[in-house]
Amino acid sequence: MLFQTFSGVRTVPEFLVQLENVGLLDAVLPFILIFAIVFTVIHKTKMLHAAKGIHVLIALVMSLLVVVPHVLGTYPPGQDVVNIINGALPNVSLVIVIIIAALLVLGIFKPEREEAPFGGFLSILSVIAIIYIFGLSAGWWKTLGMLSFLSSPDIQALVVIILVFALVIFLITADKPFDDTVNAFKKIGWLKNNP
């Protein structure tokens, strides 16, 4: 019976639609999420000084108490916990992706020493760039009229290539010796010291 449901599926989107029709988003995924969170909280905080099996049983009952009324449609309008979870999780995931992107970029530009001259400036500039990129993707604001050409991925790649070439030319033609330039990049965290 279950295999007949998936027999006509040819593409991944069709497969996901079939999983939705079977009830994956309505019952299975919320059940697993609630079970995992409740079990982890009970088990790690040691709220109940009981065996692991008791923790599993409590998490199972609480998960079923949330999911079964949703499946049966007995929640009052606007108070369906599963619908609230399904509506909130994409936004929470977006916030987590933004935080991870910010941490990655800050990790690249973080000054390792106090005398690193550009580390703080590059960190602030990186956070502003991340906010701008995600805001532009979300449609919070439009590109400026003069800078609308920067929304093209080809133009963005060209600008990055030009900036890299400008940096290389600057490093080659700088008045200071090459070692001073390498030391400057080590100070702002772009190059790591070899042991």
Contact assessment for residue 189 and residue 110, using Cβ atoms and an 8 Å cutoff: yes
Residue with tokens 């008791």: 54
Query: Under 8 Å CB-to-CB from 54, ≥6 apart: which residues?
Result: 48
Q: Which two tokens stand for residue 146?
A: 């003069």
Q: What is the pLDDT of residue 34?
A: 93
Contact assessment for residue 33 and residue 85, using Cβ atoms and an 8 Å cutoff: yes
Q: What is the pLDDT of residue 68?
A: 92
pLDDT digits (tens, 9 = 90+) for 37-65: 999 999 888 887 888 889 999 999 999 99
pLDDT digits (tens, 9 = 90+) for 73-108: 898 888 888 888 888 788 778 777 877 877 776 666
Question: pTM of this prediction?
Answer: 0.53
Q: How far apart are the C-alpha atoms of 163 and 155, rounded to whole Å? A: 12
Query: Under 8 Å CB-to-CB from 159, ≥6 apart: which residues?
Result: 150
Q: What is the pLDDT of residue 172?
A: 67
Interval 18-46 mean pLDDT: 88
Q: What is the pLDDT of residue 40?
A: 92
Rounded mean pLDDT of the chain?
75
**Amino acid letter, residue 114:** E
pLDDT digits (tens, 9 = 90+) for 146-168: 666 666 777 777 877 887 777 67
- Written in H, E and C, the secondary structure of 59-87 is HHHHHHHHHHHHHHCCCCCCCCHHHHHHH
